[in-house]
Amino acid sequence: MARTSGTATPKRPAKADNGAITPQLLDDFRDEFVGNPAHRLAMNACSRGDVDEIALNRSVLAGMDWHFSHEVEGGAITHQRNAGFCWMYAALNWLRIDVMTKLKLETFEFSNNYMIFWDRFEKANRFLTAMVDLRGQSPDDRKVDYLLREPCPDGGEWHMVANLIRKYGMAPKSAMAETANLVDSKFLNKVVDAKLRQTAAKLFAAPEAEVQEIKRQAMGDVYRILCILMGEPPQRFDFSYRDKKKKFHAHRDLSPHTFYDQFVGVDVDDYVWVMSSPLDSTPYQQTFYIEQFQNVVEGAPGVFVNVEMPALKDLAVRVVKDKQALLFGCDVLQASSRKVGIMDPAVMDYELLFNTSFAMSRKERMQFLQARLTHNMVILGVDLVDDQPLKWKVENSWGDEPGNKGYFQMTDAWFDEHMYALVVHKKYLNAEQKRVLKQQPTVLPPWHALA
């Protein structure tokens, strides 16, 4: 149906294309929109309802089931709420499985609050250390500008967890419970970032002799702010519990390091990030790490081995078949339904709804920042058919309302498209991967697509 009006609009003479939106171009777009009744139907539905519910592909849901040929028992579902610490929640959910097995517990939680406190504190020190090193640069320098935009970011990865464990140990949730400023980190970040940016300005203007004292005073301020908002981390605590047989156990006057050594005991140095990135800047069978992607200044960098996707998937299958859970990183924002708890490339039919294609290759999505590593979770199972994966069972940290009581399922097709990295024990690496791991890693800039 053509667009009509009381008076015909004369056609304007064509001009050289300077990139501007012209009245003629707008008329063409309007005619195209109103000429298709399906567009109006989509507009009527989307303007009154949840777009993801409208776009949900019901044929994908019809084939869902929640049975897996190989599963690992996890603990009670956790909830990160409005904090951007999925990487910490996922890592602690993964690490607790050994504790639950060792102590014969139905469930268990580490103190996220304890770990995030020290992550905030160490990231503040990392930022100020970088500002001291960069004092001779302009605030408009790309690296300075990048760091100033988010001085103490929420995000992180496995190597940051490992660095914190080495330096500060761990604590059970009972020793330092969650606070309001952990479950909603916006105010915490606002205050800490304001102090850090103020200190950066002082450092850039100060004479050399005053630099270290300015930094020391600022770190004292950050420690005080964190204690006020999150509580003071315990140096000693008691740990008591009842096992599955209801037998009571009590352990008194533990330090975070003695608690870790006695009840966790995982050697974090035995685990490595294995990534699959098709970017030209990250060739396969090489190692890399991202500059400034760090919390503890003196901590180990986040070195990863880059492998092709079939090799990454083979590692995942072998680990789960060995009755071990897997910490992983992915782009959960792509082709997933939070409400239903399914990750599948076809789950959202946006192309039908909007009558346009959004197709991009995995490499294109990463190159043009349509996709990046946005979320960490734990794989607890895989459904194998003729020894090939069909789907994966995923433990999330978004509470027990989404998905199947907090669990998600990831189809193998989604794994191919949106999986980025696994944390695996070095014993699962093949000889070639172990050889590559010994290479000198290439350093990637902090604004790299994998950051």
Residues with a known catalytic role? 86, 375, 396
Give the Å distances, CA to CA, from 272 to 90, 306, 394, 446.
16, 11, 20, 20
Q: Where are the alpha helices (DSSP H) in 7-57?
A: 23-34, 37-46, 51-55
Compute the distance between CA of residue 403 and CA of residue 274 in angstroms, rounded to an integer.
27
Q: Alpha-carbon distance 44 to 30, whole Å?
A: 16
d(CA 118, CA 295): 9
How many angstroms separate the CA atoms of 150 and 447, rounded? 12
Question: Cβ distance 189 to 152 under 8 Å?
Answer: yes
Give how far Cα 227 sits from Cα of 99, 114, 207, 220, 224, Å: 28, 11, 31, 11, 5
Please enumerate in sequence order all residues whose Cβ is within 8 A of that of 138, keeping only pairs 6 or more positions apart, or say none.
144
Q: At residue 383, what are phi and psi to the nearest 5 degrees?
A: -105, 110
In angstroms, the CA 380 to CA 91 distance is 13
Beta-sheet pairing, 407-411 with 248-254? unpaired
DSSP 332-369: TTSSEETTTTEE-TTSB-HHHHHTS-----HHHHHHTT
Residue 3 exposure: Cα atoms within 13 Å on the Cβ side: 13
Q: In the 8-state DSSP scheme, what is residue 320?
A: H
CB atoms under 10 Å from CB of 95, counted, come to: 21
Name the maximum alpha-carbon separation found in the chain: 88
For residue 171, which phi and psi values (nearest 5 degrees)?
-145, 150
